Structure 1
Amino acid sequence: MGLADLDAVMVLEQASHSHPWTRGNFSDSLKGGFHIPLLLRGDVLLGYFVAMPGVDEVHLLNVTVAPGLRRQGLGRVLMAALEWWARRLPALQIWLEVRRSNGAAQALYRDIGYEEVAWRRNYYPLDGQQREDALVMRKLLPYDAPDDVPDAYQAQVGAGT
């Protein structure tokens, strides 16, 4: 993702989340060197993720699939791309938070090998003064960098920063 993609990303972000990231969140992530690949079909943005590399680990900050395209395997494609990229760093683990109310995402993460680690109380904003808990999840990665590029990544996910 580059600054030229920001308008399309903001449209999808605002359509997808009750409390979307701001343009500043994305531009700061780009400036910070975070990895933000785009999942595209032709010129149509289907989804993206934002990942922050750390020492031997990656933190998934945002993953988004277009609302009308959910439950079609695109989230799985994005998560496979994340894991491939993380292993190439090499990272030993990936961390993420997910809303307590987002059972579909929790089920996907469990299905692809993430484990529950802890709960963060009042982590996410809700309407008004309310807050929602986050489930912290982690996936341990093998300590080997994959040589092959997953077909889904090569065909659909842009190289991102």
Structure 2
Amino acid sequence: MRQAGVALRQMTHEDLPVVMDIERTTFPVDAWTEAMLRGELADQPRTRHYVVAQVGDRVVGYAGLAAAGDQADVQTIAVLADHRRAGVGTALMDALLAEAARRGAVSVFLEVRADNPPAQAMYERFGFRRLGLRRRYYDDGTDAITMVKDLGPRDGDLGGGA
């Protein structure tokens, strides 16, 4: 997959050193640990889908999705500061949404920091809408805004309840 000179591929354990550098740079207060990311990759492809974005030979971003049943959750998405607003985040989000749809999800959820308007705006451009607020969700006490994007019913689902 390519967009704006961005190549995406499945994340592997070999990517963890550079991904951890991006993680710590992007989320200095509440970065995931390497053990957390290893755990996510251990569930790939069963319930997880992680991709890295490359420009040339350099990994400049990554993203992850959890999917089970008809629901998916954006676990994380990060792009190096010097590659933001260049299509990398868009390519990553496109890949996560396509994978969610491929797996039969009808809704995709995420949390975003309440103090991160650029990320909120990007998600809104993708059709996510605000759902609620999780008070003091992040390690530093910042609230999280929960958002959802409806992908539509699965084939054969008439929208009726069980």
Question: Partner amino acid for 1:50?
Answer: G
Name the TM-score, length of structure 2 as normaliser. 0.82
Question: Partner amino acid for 1:22?
Answer: T
Aligned to 1:83: 97
Aligned to 1:22: 33
Q: Please tell me whether residue 102 in structure 1 is matched to residue 112 in structure 2.
A: no
Residue 144 (structure 1) shift: 6.2
1: CA distance between counterparts of 2:154 and 2:70? 12
Aligned to 1:133: 143
Structure 1 runs of 4+ aligned residues shifted over 2 Å read 142-145
Structure 1: unaligned runs, 5 residues or longer: 146-161
1:43 pairs with 40, 57, 68, which one? 57
Is the CA contact 1:87–1:142 (under 8 Å) kept in the aligned structure 2?
no
2: CA distance between counterparts of 1:11 and 1:143? 38
Aligned to 1:154: none
RMSD, matched Cα? 1.4
Structure 2: unaligned runs, 5 residues or longer: 1-10, 156-162
1:52 pairs with 43, 66, 88, which one? 66
Is the CA contact 1:87–1:143 (under 8 Å) kept in the aligned structure 2?
no
1:97-134 deviation per Cα after TM superposition (whole angstroms, max 9, x unaligned): 000000001011111100100000110012xxxx0100
1:8 pairs with 10, 14, 18, which one? 18
Is the CA contact 1:8–1:45 (under 8 Å) kept in the aligned structure 2?
yes
Question: Partner amino acid for 2:32?
Answer: W
Aligned-residue sequence identity (percent) comes to 33
Q: Which moved more, 1:135-144 or 1:96-105?
A: 135-144
Q: Please tell me whether residue 123 in structure 1 is matched to residue 133 in structure 2.
A: no
1:67-97 deviation per Cα after TM superposition (whole angstroms, max 9, x unaligned): 1111222211111111111110111010000
